[in-house]
A and B are shown apart, each in its own frame.
Chain A
Amino acid sequence: MNPRRDVFPHRLDLQHGCVELSHGGGGRAMAQLIEELFLAAFDNAWLRAQDDGARLMVPPGRLTIATDSHVVSPLFFPGGDIGCLSVHGTINDVAMAGAWPLYLAATFILEEGFPLADLKRIVDSMAHAARHAGVPIVTGDTKVVERGKGDGVFITTTGIGVIPEGVAVSAHQAQPGDAILLSGSLGDHGMAVMAQRENLRFDTSIESDTAALHKLVAAMVAAVPGIHCLRDPTRGGLGCALNEIAQQAGAGMRLREAAIPVHEPVRALCEFLGLDPLYVANEGKLLAICPAEFADTLLAVMHGHSLGREAAIIGEVVADPHCFVEMATVFGGRRLVDWLSGEQLPRIC
């Protein structure tokens, strides 16, 4: 993309410059930020048209639309950043409807003073994630707030996708007898971010598992169109996701702790801090609930995909008027997997 030197005689200083209020003001400064930063990274025909909205062709069928805001701190963490997180997160929301994601929109709320070098890093990461996923970012918006009124950058992404014929995925479909499958290890994202917190200072190799799951989902719904429910256990972890589904379905669940994969460094950091991996956020994992007769087929499909190598059948849905999610512990006893009200905090007791 050639910069238009007559309109923008001085290029943005992407190395040392900072976001200024004028970058959100709707004038030339904002146009330059959009062109030299956002369009340069996201480059596609829709954005090159530079219209306010994008005109799209969508295949026939039911559409799904999902939106997600991203406020993670720190902005950069092992395995990812707020940029790729925002792309993967919304692609995954769309995919959890069993849908194939088509397009993304992205809005940015920038804090005055935020370094352009960091913004470029984030935007490049989003562009890379979107290209790798094959889902273009076709429209967006930028606003700037005064210093002190934002945490550097907040990103909201919205995605639309099309649901294949014959696929009807919803928590309400889960029923007693269904198998519960998990695509891989728990807690990687949440603990990767937690280890970076200034006042915790743990040295670990834990990396966020942030990833776009739509191709895995496509393989799964192709093999088993009768999947009842898909959910990605993000904030609140597997524990909260399953409780939500249980409530929506009006059923209970029985899990087996021994079947749930958790990588050793994640387990170890959870032990240090007194956290339960069941409630730690994941950004590249999914839960699938399907009729029991398809569980093995679904598991095999998941194992055949790079994002499902550690997939496991972790339990089943049961009739339970209280909608409890219970778990058989590795020790042989049972415990409730309660629906936490808020986030876990590290404890000393």
Chain B
Amino acid sequence: MKYLDEFRDGQLARGLAARICQETDSTRHYALMEFCGGHTHAICRYGIEDLLPGNVRLIHGPGCPVCVLPGGRLQAAIDLAEQERVILCGYGDLLRVPGARGDTLLKAKARGADVRMVYSVDDALDAACTHPNQQVVFFAIGFETTTPPTAVAIQQARREGLGNFSVYCNHVLTPPALRALLAAPLPSPHRRQGIVQIKGQIDGFIGPAHVSTIIGSQPYEFVATDYQRPLVIAGFEPLDVLQAILMLIRQINANDVRVDNEYTRAVSPEGNRKAQRLMDEVFTIRPSFEWRGLGELPGSALAIRPAFADWDAERRFTIPAIPAIDHKACICAEVLRGVTRPEECKVFATACTPDHPLGACMVSAEGACAAHYHYGRFRQAAAS
């Protein structure tokens, strides 16, 4: 498959990995966070960490829109789906995630709710056309990659006067989440493997691939200017990730701090202006939004503008705010910031598993804990 297979080549991987080993400074530790859940998935699925030297550690970030969706918002979608004449459409990732009361969209479907998995928001529009006497609600989630399609769909619904289509908007933004991670206070330094480290310190970021095709590289500049950390945007394939790691290590070694782009084949500094314009036409920034595991973050999520109120499910339906509190043993807040590793959590793989997730990091396959459970937990077992 063109532009996929070449970027997964094992031989080139060996070469790049050897290069990384060569260029890392053995007297220091490198903590690099990949923000994007898709990168977490690629890292775990290909076993990239096996190719890295011991003093380079990858921290799995919170860029998984399913993981950070508050249980209360998911529960609200389940309640919507159970209303008469409502067809709730959503992406596959959402169907098994437990909401505030432990319920899931799949369980609601089993009870008779009309819940439909779609590949694209356009499929939800089609459902609205096919079922004019029913209310089709599209459960919109995702970062800036997934938001423009929702914007296009809402505009299309308005153009066509589709009165039975609405969107329950849970789109979130990447830069505010990065800022929250960087601004969080950290514990005191400690010594690990002979090297002084600060738990939760992030030395550099592997920037998201496809969010960046939309927003460009410019919005990340604050990471370098305000927080003195390098960020390298990486393509989605494992060779891209390795290359981005090498670029970060070089910057860190040289005390260089800037935003760099490894994914030049798809990302430009200004991004996709048309997509940005469409998003801006349809959405406005919420003053604040709760992120599961990270708390309330200002200016971090989108709502539908009043001009498109007729297609806003939160105006069409009464959707109460449903509180959802994670299990008291859950320490996802620490895991999401890289302060604690998944395997260091007391309930990891015991009370908390992908089948029975207690917190954000386990609810979706891209979550740090779920990815580690699914792809990597044999490493701890071998060690112990």
Direct A–B touching, Cβ under 8 Å: yes
Knowing A322-B378, A324-B378, A330-B8, say if A347 contacts B45 (CB, 8 Å): no
Does A333 lie within 8 Å of B47, measured CB to CB?
yes
For A273, the closest partner residue in chain B by CB is: B119
Knowing A200-B119, A338-B373, say if A331 contacts B378 (CB, 8 Å): no
For B90, the closest partner residue in chain A by CB is: A348
Q: How far is the CA of A329 from the CA of B51 in the complex (A)?
A: 11
Distance in Å from the Cβ of A125 to the closest Cβ of chain B?
A: 29
* Any B CB within 8 A of the CB of A332: yes
Does B118 lie within 8 Å of A199, measured CB to CB?
yes
Q: How many residues of B contact A (CB 8 A)?
A: 46
Q: CB within 8 Å of B: which of A235-284?
A: 258, 264, 267-268, 271, 273-274, 276
Does B91 lie within 8 Å of A267, measured CB to CB?
no
- Chain B residues closer than 8 Å to A273, beta-carbon distance: 92, 119
Knowing A326-B378, A345-B96, say if A333 contacts B119 (CB, 8 Å): no
Does A335 lie within 8 Å of B119, measured CB to CB?
no
Distance in Å from the Cβ of B195 to the closest Cβ of chain A?
A: 24
Binary interface encoding of chain A residues 305-349 relative to chain B, with 1 for a CB under 8 A from any of its CBs, else 0:
000000000000000001010101111111110100110011111
Does B47 lie within 8 Å of A334, measured CB to CB?
yes
Does B93 lie within 8 Å of A331, measured CB to CB?
no
For A321, the closest partner residue in chain B by CB is: B381
- Chain A residues closer than 8 Å to B355, beta-carbon distance: 341
* Any A CB within 8 A of the CB of B377: yes
Does A199 lie within 8 Å of B119, measured CB to CB?
yes
Q: How far is the CA of A258 from the CA of B11 in the complex (A)?
A: 12
Residue with the highest number of chain B CB atoms closer than 10 Å, among A335, A341, A349:
A349
Does B92 lie within 8 Å of A335, measured CB to CB?
no
Residue with the highest number of chain A CB atoms closer than 10 Å, among B14, B51, B365, B373:
B365
Q: Which of B10, B116, B374 contacts A330 (CB 8 A)?
A: B10
Band of interface residues on A: 20 to 34
Q: Which of B37, B49, B378, B381 contacts A349 (CB 8 A)?
A: B37
Q: Which of A258, A330, A332, A345 contacts B51 (CB 8 A)?
A: A332
Does A349 lie within 8 Å of B1, measured CB to CB?
no
Does A338 lie within 8 Å of B374, measured CB to CB?
yes
Does A346 lie within 8 Å of B4, measured CB to CB?
no
* Any A CB within 8 A of the CB of B354: yes
Knowing A273-B119, A330-B8, A349-B364, say if A335 contacts B93 (CB, 8 Å): no
State the main secondary structure of chain B at its contact with A: helix
Binary interface encoding of chain B residues 37-66 relative to chain A, with 1 for a CB under 8 A from any of its CBs, else 0:
110010011111111000000000000111
Does A329 lie within 8 Å of B4, measured CB to CB?
no
For B364, the closest partner residue in chain A by CB is: A349
Q: Which of A258, A324, A335, A349 contacts B45 (CB 8 A)?
A: A335
* Any A CB within 8 A of the CB of B155: no
Q: Which of B50, B119, B373, B375 contacts A332 (CB 8 A)?
A: B50
- Chain A residues closer than 8 Å to B64, beta-carbon distance: 349
- Chain A residues closer than 8 Å to B10, beta-carbon distance: 258, 330-332
Give 20 CB contacts A-B under 8 Å: A199-B117, A199-B119, A258-B10, A322-B378, A322-B381, A328-B47, A331-B47, A332-B17, A333-B46, A333-B47, A333-B49, A333-B50, A333-B51, A334-B50, A335-B46, A336-B376, A341-B354, A346-B117, A349-B65, A349-B66
- Contacts A322-B381, A346-B119, A349-B65 aside, 16 further interface pairs with beta carbons under 8 A come to A271-B4, A322-B378, A330-B8, A330-B46, A331-B13, A332-B14, A333-B49, A334-B47, A334-B50, A335-B45, A335-B46, A346-B91, A349-B37, A349-B41, A349-B64, A349-B142
Query: Across chains A and B, which 9 residue pairs bring their CB atoms closest together, nearest first?
Result: A333-B47, A345-B92, A333-B50, A346-B92, A331-B46, A334-B47, A348-B91, A335-B375, A324-B378
